[in-house]
Amino acid sequence: MANFESAWFVYGALLLLLATSFVVRIDYVRIGLAAAALVAVPLVLFREPDVGYGMLVLAILVVNLGILARLWLRERQVSFSAEEEALRREHFSALNPVAARGLIDQGHWISAKRGEILIRENQAAPSLFYLAEGQAAIRRDGAEVGKLSDGALIGEATVLDGTHATGTVLLGSNARLWFVPAAALRAYLTANPAIASTLHEGFARALRGKLASANTRLADRAPIV
């Protein structure tokens, strides 16, 4: 019976470690390691004493709990303005507050005037833009093919790989923008691969939303036959 119980705790700890292997966010990795160590604690307490094993489990538990406590304190100290919080909520919600703070700090907030061109057709996007307030039009071959409004990301389809945009984005009103230059964003994400992975997923969701909206507009304009 004792051997069966020991095996149960070992398998439980191993399953937690396996699950942790697939986690991208580092704070979740720490939680998984601490949980695995916690599951293994009964082996230390109720089986025949093994000083080396006990010290290893204790070290894993204490180190990861300590790091989690430090991360928690750092997150509590992070603050966002109202417009930063809107950006974070709409597009960076998968990032913890510290990571979101670091990413937002790579960019700049500006006020722009109606008629300014953010991205030109057949050219690489110079920056990733977030349209906090205002309207923008998407033009292709001189014809308007879409509109963007408050909360939209602009340039996410091409800014990371440097490919050319398929349309021009022109501000249709005075606007409030956050932007981060493409080169600076790529350098930052190269140095922070976990953030890069999360951002790619967020960009994919934003693009799916734009495609769904575009399909709806096309369907509305289609003749009834």
| Span 167-193, pLDDT tens digits | 999 999 999 999 999 999 999 999 998
Tokens 């409030």 locate to 176
Q: What are the pLDDT digits (tens) for 76-125? A: 668 899 999 999 999 998 888 889 999 999 999 999 999 999 999 999 99
Tokens 């507009």 identify what position? 217
pTM of the predicted model, to two decimals? 0.64
Q: CA 126 to CA 90: how far, in whole Å?
A: 22
**CB 97 within 8 Å of CB 115:** no
- Given a contact cutoff of 8 angstroms between Cβ atoms, the answer to whether 119 and 166 are in contact is no
Quick one: tokens of 200?
A: 């790619």
